[in-house]
Structure 1
Amino acid sequence: MTTRAIQFQNHPFRFLLYLEWGLLAVSITGILTMPPMREIGRRGLSNGVAPAFTHWPLFTVGCLLLFGLLGLYLPTKGFWLRLGHIAAQVALILVTSGLMLRGARLFPFIYLVLVIRSCLMVGLVGRITVTSLAFLLFMTTLGLKFRSVGGRVPRPVRHLVGSLQMNLVVFFGLSLVFTLLLVNALLNERTIQTRLQKANEDLKRAAVQTKQLATAEERSRIAREIHDSLGHSLTALNIQLEGAIKLSQRDPQKSQQLLTEAKRLGSVALQDVRQSVATLRNKSPNQKSLQSQLNTLIDTLTASTGITPSINLQILKPLPEAMGAALYRLVQEGITNIVKHANATAVELSLMVDDQGTRLLLRDNGDGFDISQTSTGFGLQGMRERAQAIGGQLTVNSRPGEGCEIRLTVPGT
């Protein structure tokens, strides 16, 4: 049921409105095509009956027209407004039925129109109430009409008149029930279509939001790949170049060694770029084992800082590709931070992979930092995102002057 008054412009079933007008047109035509008033009057007077409706044909038509105009505005809110609207329709039906009571014809269409309108205005209980009221009004009108006619028919025919009356009552009752069920079915179908349309719109909005989230996630992934792959190699490369510049005059041989190492790191950076591009294209390039990759990181750390770290790598079960990539990037980011900021003299790296899960530890004795002031840095943010992606819990403990400790725990599967 609509949330505002039903008018011609927003009528949910325009064909029902046209049907109303058609039924009312049939009723009005029936009144206007009655035999001439004088002829009916003579027949009525000869039978001792005053044909009251013959004195008011235009008034009867006016009542039907007013009844039809009420269908152009059907309120759907406000109990008293809807009740008054239905009461006005019932009153017009009573007046029209009274004026046509002694006519030769019976017009049940207005009762069907009343039921159709009630289905658009009120709920199920109200619809059933109005349908029952229409049926009682029709039975009363029909009973009065046959009672007025029964006295003028021979006694043997009265039984047939009674059977005709009963058949009309049953037929009209079935017509009312059919009309009620039909309009209810149409309303239910419209409600279902409205819900489906709303669900479809919700799905479209959800699809757009999912696409936006996927785009944001992809951007974050690309940013992490660039930061983690190039950041480490370029940091080490920059350190080697700075050392070569400082030693270019005092120790040309050492400077040459640093330049050679810088060239190697440049090649590593280029390889990282190629690997990142292949990853973004969903290709799977031939990669070394995780242990070999971690050993390469340690070699870079040693070459850049001169630190020989304490290493404990125990990978006792195969790791999924995504898990291995995440662990490598986490260690890479941690070592990059040590090279860039820590000024450490000792580094410890431990990785345990077994049936109990995965446990990673990276610790240094460097300068440390205040976590509350650097928690929004992209490096730590990327590490947390990677840990979350593999279902792990990442903790970072550090204080100024007390080094830094990074722990990752991933439960076993």
Structure 2
Amino acid sequence: MSRPITIQNHPFRFLLYLEWILMGCAALIAFIPSPLQRFPTKFPELIICSVTVFGLMGLRLPTSNKFTKVIYTALEIFLIIITTFFGGRAARLFPFLYVILVTRSCLIFQIQGRVIITFLSFVLFLLTLKRRFDRLPLTPAAQERFLFINFSFGVMFGLALLFVLLLMTTVLSERQSREELAIANKKLSQYALRIENHATLEERNRIAREIHDSLGHSLTALNLQLETALKLWQTNPEKAQTFLAKAKELGSKSLQDVRQSVSAMRSHTLQEQSLEQAIAVLAENMHRATGVLPICEITLSRPIPPEITTPVYRIIQESFTNIYKHAQATEVKLELAANKDLKLIVQDNGKGFDLEQNTTGFGLQSMRDRTLALGGKFQIHSTPGSGCKIIVDIPLPR
């Protein structure tokens, strides 16, 4: 509900000052005795009171309740009629009161109400003009000339009311547009700040996922290599040295991953490799770490956009990490197909887990977030003792 228009929030204060000047002149003319008796002021006190009330009404314009607007406007018209019929010389200023009426109606009504008030003001003006014309004792020739003058005056006044209506409507529309633009700019600034905060949060989450997916993967493999080397150190030192060399290689890769993640300047995770080549490297790393060589069935009937290949690679990497970290599997199978959509299935025969208790880890949540960010569907099927199956469906651009 909009606030009433008062002197504090009046959109055009100069109009308010102009109203006071015109009504002050009308009251002054009504109060001063006239030497001419053709149009005497019958009730000067009533005229002054009417003009004063009409002026004070301009200090508070209703803008919310329709019934209040109608009563307010009707009272204004009633005060103008009193001034017109009993004002004597002061009635000569009655056209300005109609202009003020139209101006106020533009502030409190919509376009339909403004047109009605303007038309009603013009009709009342013509009736008042006719009444004043009938009171003059003129000859037929003078009546004809006076009628022509009044007709011209009426046309000019009607055009003046129309001009005031169009001018006020245009100015109010421009003012409303400016206010809406200011509000839109304010909202845009708020949205920009929210987007910036959201982008910052997304970037932090992305770096966290990169650290977890890359560094976590490398450190897990490094730990497995070191454990194997410790077990073989007494019985087979040469083979243990092979695992230590691999551990050193993984340590170097982990250091590189840390630098890349902290700087957040990684341009492409696959490092110019195709997705098939990157998956083959992951499978080979898993075979070296656990002795289990994943069976990979890859059918790519169409190219996959880079913005999809990287998340898919990370999902596969996280799946392999979880398998040789927790599953204790002896068989791993990967199926990747890209036809109309991309479908990825990673399945193992490990110990499995309870979905209601073990689906909140950062790794699983990272895979789920990556899939949902691409508009895909992420599913996990697992029960204790029966392995785990991860299904990822991602729509590809047509």
Cα deviation, residue 411, structure 1: 5.1
Please list, as runs of the form range in 1=range in 2, the aligned pairs for 1:211-222 lying within 5 A after superposition.
211-222=196-207
Conserved? CA contact 1:313–1:352, under 8 Å: yes
Displacement after TM superposition at 1:11 (Å): 0.9
Contact 1:27 1:109 in 2 (8 A): no
> For the aligned residues, what is the CA RMSD?
3.0
SS of residue paired to 2:378? strand
Q: 2:19 aligned with 1:20, yes or no?
A: yes
Matched residue of 1:362: which SS?
strand
**Residue 148 (structure 1) aligned with residue 140 (structure 2):** no
1:91 to 58, 75, 78: 78
* CA gap 1:141/1:324 in 2 versus in 1, 3 angstroms: closer
Say which SS state the counterpart of residue 281 (structure 1) adopts. coil
The secondary structure found in structure 1 opposite 2:356 is helix
Q: Tell me the distance in 2 between the aligned counterparts of 1:310 and 1:326.
A: 21
Q: What SS does the aligned partner of 2:391 have?
A: strand
Counterpart in the other structure of 2:144: 159
Q: Report the alpha carbon displacement of residue 199 of structure 1 after superposing the two structures with TM.
A: 2.8
SS in 1 for 2:124: helix
Query: In 1, are the aligned partners of 2:211 and 2:261 still within 8 Å (CA)?
Result: yes
Task: Check if 1:377 corresponds to 2:361.
Answer: yes
SS of residue paired to 1:159:
helix
Measured in 2, the distance between the counterparts of 1:136 and 1:329 equals: 80
SS at structure 2 position matched to 1:168: helix
Aligned to 2:69: 82
Residues 30 and 88, structure 2, Cα contact 8 Å, conserved in 1: no
Of residues 173-182 and 290-299 in structure 1, the stretch that sits farther from structure 2 once superposed is: 290-299
SS at match of 2:381: strand
307-316 vs 197-206, greater mean Cα deviation:
307-316
Is 1:119 matched with 2:106?
Answer: yes
**1:223-275 alpha-carbon deviations (Å, 9 max, x no partner):** 22111111111011112223334454565555444323321221232343455
How far apart, in 1, do the equivalents of 2:84 and 2:374 lie? Answer: 80
Unpaired segments ≥5 residues, structure 2: none
Which amino acid in structure 2 is aligned with residue 5 of structure 1? P
Provide closer, same or farther for how the CA distance between residues 273 and 95 of structure 1 changes in structure 2, counting only shifts above 3 A.
same
Asked if the contact 1:330–1:383 (Cα under 8 Å) also holds between the matched residues in 2, the reply is yes
- Does 1:396 pair with 2:383? no
8 Å Cα contact 2:329/2:351 also seen in 1 = yes
Larger CA Rg, structure 1 vs 2: 1
TM-score norm. by structure 2 comes to: 0.87
Unaligned runs of 5+ in 1: none
Q: 2:370 aligns with which of 386, 404, 413?
A: 386
Higher mean alpha-carbon deviation, 238-247 vs 111-120, is at 238-247
TM-score w.r.t. the length of structure 1 is: 0.84
The number of residue pairs the alignment matches comes to 396
Deviation (angstroms), 1:12: 1.8
Deviation sequence 1:46-68 (CA, Å, 0-9, x none): xxx6x641x64455334322321
> Could you tell me how far apart the structure 2 residues matched to 1:10 and 1:368 are?
70
Conservation of the 8 A alpha-carbon contact between 2:213 and 2:314? yes
What SS is found at the alignment partner of 2:135?
A: helix
